Amino acid sequence: MASSSAKMMRAVICDSPGPVSVLNLREVPVPTPQPGQVLVKVLAFGINRAEMFTRQGHSPGIIFPRIIGIELIGTVAGYPPGDGPEPGDIPIGSRVATCMGGLGRQIPGSYAEYSCPWKKNIRAVPDTTLPLATLAAMPEMFQTAYGSLVDSLDLQRGESILVRGATSSVGLTALQLARYLGAGRVAATTRSGARAQMLRDLGATDVFVDDGNLADQVPAQFDKVLELVGATTLKDSVKCLRPKGTVCMTGIQGGKWVLDDFAPMTDLPQRRRLTGYSGDPSDFLALPWEQLIKAVEARTIQIPLREFRLDQLQEVHKVLEDGGGGVKMVVVI
């Protein structure tokens, strides 16, 4: 049985697909972990654009009402009967992190005081001086940036990379992570020249104001492009690649997932390569998590963030709808 004595909890329920007003803070029963799950007392969680898409009804297979939220930092509060803690399991009371794996989609999510992620998808949080809010900003953001740079783009030391749409939270992380991983030239784009200095301060070697025709400014110059704007700029991003370079589409700041007319033999000339990144729980588990936490402690990688409370999720989603504000938003409970 769950060892927590709490019977009821506060949670933000997404009542149905709709505008921000469908998100409502309610008292609901603490969930009971099913076999293979673990009960986690949520301490803090990061906010993601994916949650806005789910709320708007764009994620397939979601049954409403649903507690959304795809990542969290918390403490282990219980295991289901007969299913733990077993030898090797993380002890009750220990701090853990998780993201993806159906959280906030097929199973209740993190916008709550308790959640029941899959045991196989949690990992321990090492001892750290980082504030809870900073830790909460990390799982999904680092998984996405690291997965895109290392797994999808196979970024090598000394290679040049362009981060297109660099002022988003993932973009800022990817920019700094690319430097940290030893990339050579690390260029960044922004739609507004006003943010160029901020990007330089975080390690961008070049900053370009993106008018949609970047290939005119930097034709065939990069080994790798991380495409965070999406389908609207992807063909132009391909033209910024050197022969045999790779572009990875990871974000859709431009609001568009789909290329309406894509001709690989002409749109990917001279062996330019296209790949995508959409995340997987195994990626979070494979992350060099301890090493990244140390890099954040040392401020080698900085995480601009904005902190909210559980009763502010409507406000948080309004900010998401306005573009996210260029910082990672987190909720501390």
Nearer to a second copy, 64 or 262 (CB): 262
Which of 45-53, 88-96, 186-194, 255-263 is the region at the interface with a second copy (rule: CB under 8 A)? 255-263
CB of 212 to a second copy, least distance (A): 18
Interacting residue with a second copy among 73, 183, 252, 310 (CB under 8 A): 252
What does the alpha-carbon distance between residue 228 and residue 10 come to, in Å, rounded to a whole number?
34
Assess 61 for contact with a second copy (CB under 8 A). no
Interacting residue with a second copy among 86, 194, 266, 298 (CB under 8 A): 266
Both tokens of 170, joined, read 């993932």
Nearer to a second copy, 262 or 308 (CB): 262
Assess 48 for contact with a second copy (CB under 8 A). no
Which string of x and - marks every residue 135-174 that binds a second copy (by CB under 8 A)? ----------------xx----------------------
What does the alpha-carbon distance between residue 97 and residue 132 come to, in Å, rounded to a whole number?
11
User: Is 20 within 8 Å of 321 (Cβ atoms)?
Assistant: yes
Interacting residue with a second copy among 26, 273, 294, 306 (CB under 8 A): 273
Nearer to a second copy, 20 or 62 (CB): 62
Q: How far apart are the first and last CA of the chain?
A: 24
Interacting residue with a second copy among 260, 298, 299, 322 (CB under 8 A): 260
DSSP label at 269?
A: G
CB of 264 to a second copy, least distance (A): 4
Assess 58 for contact with a second copy (CB under 8 A). no
Interacting residue with a second copy among 62, 262, 308, 326 (CB under 8 A): 262
Assess 250 for contact with a second copy (CB under 8 A). yes
Question: How many chain residues are in contact with a second copy, going by CB under 8 A?
Answer: 32
Which of 16-24, 72-80, 112-120, 266-274 is the region at the interface with a second copy (rule: CB under 8 A)? 266-274
User: Is 187 within 8 Å of 208 (Cβ atoms)?
Assistant: yes
Contacts of 305 (CB under 8 A, 6+ apart): 133, 134, 137, 169, 327, 328, 329, 330
What does the alpha-carbon distance between residue 111 and residue 72 come to, in Å, rounded to a whole number?
9
Sign of the CA dihedral running 97, 100, 102, 108:
positive
Assess 93 for contact with a second copy (CB under 8 A). no
Assess 234 for contact with a second copy (CB under 8 A). yes
DSSP label at 312?
A: G
Both tokens of 237, joined, read 């991003």
Nearer to a second copy, 10 or 273 (CB): 273
User: Is 137 within 8 Å of 45 (Cβ atoms)?
Assistant: no
Contacts of 84 (CB under 8 A, 6+ apart): 38, 119
Assess 275 for contact with a second copy (CB under 8 A). yes
Instruction: Measure Cα distances from 241 to 36, 151, 276 in Å.
Output: 44, 18, 16
Assess 267 for contact with a second copy (CB under 8 A). yes
Q: Give the number of other Cβ atoms within 10 Å of residue 271's Cβ.
A: 11
Place of tokens 């940290």: 180
Omega of the bond leading into 108 within 30 degrees of 0 (cis): no
Assess 83 for contact with a second copy (CB under 8 A). no
Interacting residue with a second copy among 231, 285, 295, 332 (CB under 8 A): 231
CB of 149 to a second copy, least distance (A): 12
Assess 219 for contact with a second copy (CB under 8 A). no
Helix (H) or strand (E) holding 297: helix 289-297
Assess 237 for contact with a second copy (CB under 8 A). no
Binding site for a second copy (CB under 8 A): 151-152, 231, 234, 244, 246, 249-250, 252, 257-278, 280
